A and B are shown apart, each in its own frame.
Chain A
Amino acid sequence: MKLDQLYQEIILDHYKRPHGRGLREPFDAEAHHVNPTCGDEVTLRVSIKGDTVADVSYEGMGCSISQASASILHELLKGGTVEESLRRHEAFAELMGGRGQVEPDEAVLEDAVAFAGVARYPARVKCALLPWMAYKDALARAVPEEEKA
């Protein structure tokens, strides 16, 4: 059934038992993103040590898709390199923009492949992307341009 593709067990699990939730110190930058059509909000902090994403902490309110997405983002990006996080960000954005036609790479996206079904629901894509956009924003503030090159 279609709806099961949207509300996959992994998504519901992350929604009910979010990983890494709560805003933590220290952090290098913070971003607050809002989805103006529905009022979903996320505040996300990044802590960068050298080229490593030392922590991603977040707080937010919203639907199961946006909140589970933040939880999975935390799992996926924390502890990896900044470069790796950008690669995963790109893969996730591509999956979400693919209208269900993009085959996700499980090696890159891990649990986030569960969001493949969300891409078939255009009204929900923004929910899934909300924390990822906040991450990119926070990262840009934390890492000066020349260091990213």
Chain B
Amino acid sequence: MNALDVDAVRKDFPILDREVNGNPLVYLDSGNTSQKPRQVIDAVREHYELHNANVARSVHTLGTEATEAFEGAREKVAAFVGAGTAAEIVFTKNSTEAINLVAHAFTAGAQDPRLRLGPGDEIVITEMEHHSNIVPWQLLAQRTGATLRWFGLTDEGRLDLSRLEDLINERTKLVSVVHYSNLLGTINPVDVLVARARQVGALVLLDGSQSVPHIPVDVTALGADFVAFTGHKMLGPTGIGALWGRFELLDAMPPFLGGGSMIETVAMTGSTFMPPPARFEAGTPPIAEAVGLGAAVDYLSAVGMDAIQAHEKQLTAYALDALAATPDVRVIGPTDTADRGATISFTVDGIHPHDVGQILDDEGVQVRVGHHCARPTCVRFGVPATTRASFYLYTTISEIDALVRGLERVRKVFA
């Protein structure tokens, strides 16, 4: 594995040259959305300048080029996450849509017993989920009469597995868990959850929104049934995400949205549907965005996911030490680098995160403040909101120093 050359990486990201409020930009909000390298921006522009046409319906040259670029992107994404075939990658708008797609496959009358859900059946999530992995299941439980249950968290911000066998039981139809928490930074023990789900015949969905961009992910090795992830957090454009699913399972699922591109034949009396992934991609897809996502995974692969993970681990260790030495700061989540990613939430005693974020912004430091779409996690730790710094391949140690300097100014203003 080659070590990551952060100076070389930064040269590829034009936005990192700009200033914010008279200070160099210090972008510590990659968990929210990542910045884009010139290679991705160029790929999108080039697509529009040279190859733009609709996909999967034209015999002309441009249509063929656009289709090849779109399907080529699917192959790149499939290879990037270790999917068996490109047909296991369904392009969606984002992770949220990918999760909702799976949720809508479960009905009371489903032909496949694995997807049949009704009163007495259970869906299991955790207290550290993003709202996008809570609300679709609440809605599904309302539609079907199934019961939603969840794992609690330990004070260190890890899943409390002491009730594993009670929570995942013979009634469980689906376990839907975040791989890498967007608030706590915790990386969850997928193997333990998958092993237990297999014992009881439940399906497993992983929310990979934060893991796929930051750590090497091999969906086949993980052993889950579905993995949802999104392009804009992994150097790609907004508006494109993906659902990976085992082909046999995707093939057992009904369509999600109805429309063009997902049908075999349409008569006024009824329609038949394409096999996956087309079955789940009604309407004109985000073509240029898929091309951009393809360029993004090329970029990530060239740098190397192992190298990115090692770089982020170094940053995380440095930041955890620096924050531990900063007065009044309390980290919410694991305080060591074992099974944790480069997303660090913290509170500053007596000062609301909004005020922390505002003063940091004045210093050019961009962090996210609020409940991070994970309000139940905040409630669990007794805080209304947190400040969150999240790092990526272009983050430097000196940017973490800028964060810590900014926090000193926060304390001065509110002293």
A62–B371 alpha-carbon span in the complex (Å): 12
Known A6-B358, A64-B355; contact A12-B414, beta-carbon cutoff 8 A? yes
Which residues on the A side are within 8 Å of B384 (C-beta)? 39-41, 61-62
Chain B residues within 8 Å of chain A by Cβ, number:
17
Say yes or no: is B271 at the interface (Cβ < 8 Å to chain A).
Answer: no
B355 near A38 with CB under 8 A, answer: no
Please give the distance in Å from B182's CB to the nearest CB on chain A.
Answer: 16
Say yes or no: is B378 at the interface (Cβ < 8 Å to chain A).
Answer: yes
Say yes or no: is A3 at the interface (Cβ < 8 Å to chain B).
Answer: yes
Known A38-B385, A62-B352, A63-B352; contact A124-B358, beta-carbon cutoff 8 A? yes
A63 near B359 with CB under 8 A, answer: no
A3 near B359 with CB under 8 A, answer: yes
Chain A residues within 8 Å of chain B by Cβ, number:
19
Contact of B378 among A7, A39, A64, A124 (CB under 8 A): A39
The proximity string for A residues 29-73 relative to B, scoring 1 for CB distances below 8 Å and 0 otherwise, is 000000001111100000000000000000001111101000000
B413 near A7 with CB under 8 A, answer: yes
Say yes or no: is B98 at the interface (Cβ < 8 Å to chain A).
Answer: no
A63–B384 alpha-carbon span in the complex (Å): 10
Find the residue from A61, A64, A65 having the highest chain B CB count within 10 A: A64
A63–B21 alpha-carbon span in the complex (Å): 21
Please give the distance in Å from B172's CB to the nearest CB on chain A.
Answer: 31
Say yes or no: is A2 at the interface (Cβ < 8 Å to chain B).
Answer: yes
Please give the distance in Å from A15's CB to the nearest CB on chain B.
Answer: 8
Known A39-B375, A64-B352; contact A121-B385, beta-carbon cutoff 8 A? no
Please give the distance in Å from B372's CB to the nearest CB on chain A.
Answer: 10
Say yes or no: is B354 at the interface (Cβ < 8 Å to chain A).
Answer: yes
Say yes or no: is A77 at the interface (Cβ < 8 Å to chain B).
Answer: no
A38 near B362 with CB under 8 A, answer: no
Say yes or no: is A95 at the interface (Cβ < 8 Å to chain B).
Answer: no
B369 near A38 with CB under 8 A, answer: yes
Which residues on the B side are within 8 Å of A12 (C-beta)? 413-414
Which residues on the B side are within 8 Å of A67 (C-beta)? 352
A63 near B362 with CB under 8 A, answer: no
Contact of A127 among B21, B354, B362, B414 (CB under 8 A): B354
A148–B93 alpha-carbon span in the complex (Å): 49
A38 near B354 with CB under 8 A, answer: yes
A12–B355 alpha-carbon span in the complex (Å): 11
B414 near A64 with CB under 8 A, answer: yes
Which residues on the A side are within 8 Å of B358 (C-beta)? 3, 6, 121, 124
Please give the distance in Å from B361's CB to the nearest CB on chain A.
Answer: 9
Please give the distance in Å from A79's CB to the nearest CB on chain B.
Answer: 29
The proximity string for B residues 380-412 relative to A, scoring 1 for CB distances below 8 Å and 0 otherwise, is 000011000000000000000000000000000
Which residues on the B side are within 8 Å of A37 (C-beta)? 370
A3–B21 alpha-carbon span in the complex (Å): 10
Q: A39-B371, A63-B354 are in contact. List 7 more A-B contacts (CB 8 A).
A: A3-B413, A7-B355, A12-B413, A62-B384, A64-B355, A65-B355, A124-B354
Seen from chain A, the residues whose Cβ lies within 8 Å of a Cβ on chain B are 2-3, 6-7, 12, 37-41, 61-65, 67, 121, 124, 127
Seen from chain B, the residues whose Cβ lies within 8 Å of a Cβ on chain A are 21, 352-355, 358-359, 362, 369-371, 375, 378, 384-385, 413-414
Could you list 6 examples of A-B contacts with CB < 8 Å?
A: A3-B413, A37-B370, A38-B353, A39-B375, A65-B354, A67-B352
